[in-house]
Amino acid sequence: MSNTLIPQIVGYARVSTASGEQISSLETQKSRLKTAGVQKIFTDVESGRSNDRQAFNELLQLIDKKAVKEIVVTRFDRLGRDAAFVDAALVLASKKNVQIRTIDTGVVDTESPTGFLMSRISTSLAEMESKMLSMRVKKAIDQRWKDGKIPRGKIPWGYHRVKYADKDRLELHPTEGERARKFLEVLKENGYRLHRTLKEFEDTPLSRVSSVKKWLYNPVLRGGIGFVKIGGYQYKKVLWGLHEPLIRHEDWFAVKRIMEFNTKAWGSSSKVQPKLLTGLAVCSCCENRLAYLPRKKETHAYALRCNFLKCDLYQKRVKAAMIVEAINKALAKRSKELASLTESEPVEVTKLRNEIDNLSKLDDSDLKEVIERKKEKLTGLLLTESPILKERAELMAEPGFWQHAVSLPDTRLREIYLEFVLKAVANPTEVTQVDLRI
């Protein structure tokens, strides 16, 4: 952005979320700033505790370049609720002779010790208020869970709410649960092409591709319940192992990866069934994806090539079998290492268990909340973050496993590869590198 386009006096407005009430507040701030004579206003819709706010960081750059003389906000806490970060911004503004002014309280004086102390107190109070709000929300969530109250909102297709004594539980619906399971089977047969499956599977409450994706990403389908949605498909807190899942944790990662590949294949290519190494094999010269060569006969071996015109290996033939063998060797070696590490438990799991035991021995009621948080983290590690469990590691480390695996249908073997393999870098003579997710 050219400095010549920036007025000497600019405004900054911020709200935490894009809810109706908050957006109304943002418009009120902007209106007040315009009345105060501000010509250009920078806005953020993000928590004041975040230090990655785009507009605020743009303002910091303008301050550093001395491109502005004054920044106006309606209230001091609009600058942020992280005391240390706002302090640093005020110090920078002071050094660059940029004035910070609030409509409600006037110019922020950072030159005198008393003025800086007052600004620090204002920021610290805003930070404390933010943390207290977060604490109240967290306690409300925890209490809601202890009371057996499932979060408000629509229960995903396939499940229903069942009341047991004073606690609610989610269970698979007697009829819709089975239909949802069959929908997932058809989805898998179609290579997780959402639009195609919707056309084939009639009479489903999932009417659009976006609703199917939202449904798939819901942790309820993996046996968990999410609390406080934080954008996209993420939740601030998820409790796992609460009911029967429709999708296993170990299968979910491969499902996500397949859908990611599908978004890159559109038009006529969307009708092509991905082969075993599609999207996983990379040219060692130019690092572009290798593409499958067409086969003249069904009995001919598969091969890939680089289609990047300027690459030294352009259209050079790379044997698919060579890449598969290298991937299998890498997975077998890593699985053997993991199997030996998981004879007891993974290091991070052992560490968490020890921490929980030590805290529990203190028998302090004030530590109960901390212990519960660590137990939830432990559950998360065992169910989702650990990409491979002891039994799978031992199985995949068996000498004959990968000899058998190559005879599996390509769709099943591809799911294993998508779960554990990042990429295989190859050229016509060798596989130079295999990057794994485990």
Question: What does the pLDDT average to over 321-333?
Answer: 92
pLDDT at 428 over 90: yes
* Of 52-66, 138-152, 361-375, 406-420, the least confident: 138-152
Torsion angles phi and psi, residue 160, rounded to 5: -145, 165
Q: Identify the residue with better confidence: 98 or 142.
A: 98
- Max mean pLDDT among 338-342, 354-358, 431-435 falls in 431-435
- Max mean pLDDT among 83-97, 212-226, 227-241 falls in 212-226
Burial per residue of 55-72, b for 16 or more beta-carbon CB atoms within 10 angstroms, e otherwise: ebebbeebbeeebbebbb
- Max mean pLDDT among 167-171, 375-379, 382-386 falls in 167-171
Distance of CA 326 to the CA centre of its chain: 30
Confidence band of 432 (pLDDT split at 50, 70, 90): very high
CA angle 179, 248, 251 (to 5 degrees): 105
The CA-atom distances, in angstroms, between 10 and each of 54, 109, 332 are 15, 18, 60
Class of residue 302 by CB neighbours under 10 A (exposed 0-12, middle 13-18, buried 19+): middle
**Residue pLDDT, tens place only, 3-33:** 446 678 899 998 887 766 778 888 889 989 9
Q: Identify the residue with better confidence: 378 or 216.
A: 216
As given in the structure block, the two tokens for residue 25 are 């507040």
pLDDT at 224 over 60: yes
What pLDDT was estimated at residue 116?
Answer: 56
Question: What does the pLDDT average to over 182-191?
Answer: 90
DSSP element (H, E) containing 235: strand 235-239
pLDDT at 345 over 60: no
Q: Got the DSSP string for 238-267? A: EE-SSS--SS-HHHHHHHHHHHHHHHH--G
What pLDDT was estimated at residue 135?
Answer: 63
What is the rounded CA–CA span in Å between residue 23 and residue 75?
16
Q: Identify the residue with better confidence: 140 or 182.
A: 182
Q: Which amino acid is at 12?
A: Y
pLDDT at 354 over 60: yes
pLDDT at 391 over 70: no
pTM greater than 0.95 (yes/no): no
**Residue pLDDT, tens place only, 84-141:** 677 777 778 888 888 888 887 777 766 666 555 555 555 555 555 555 655 665 666 5
pLDDT at 174 over 90: yes
What pLDDT was estimated at residue 384?
Answer: 41
Question: What does the pLDDT average to over 281-310?
Answer: 93
pLDDT at 145 over 60: no
What is the rounded CA–CA span in Å between residue 236 and residue 256?
20
What pLDDT was estimated at residue 382?
Answer: 52
Confidence band of 241 (pLDDT split at 50, 70, 90): confident
pLDDT at 285 over 90: yes
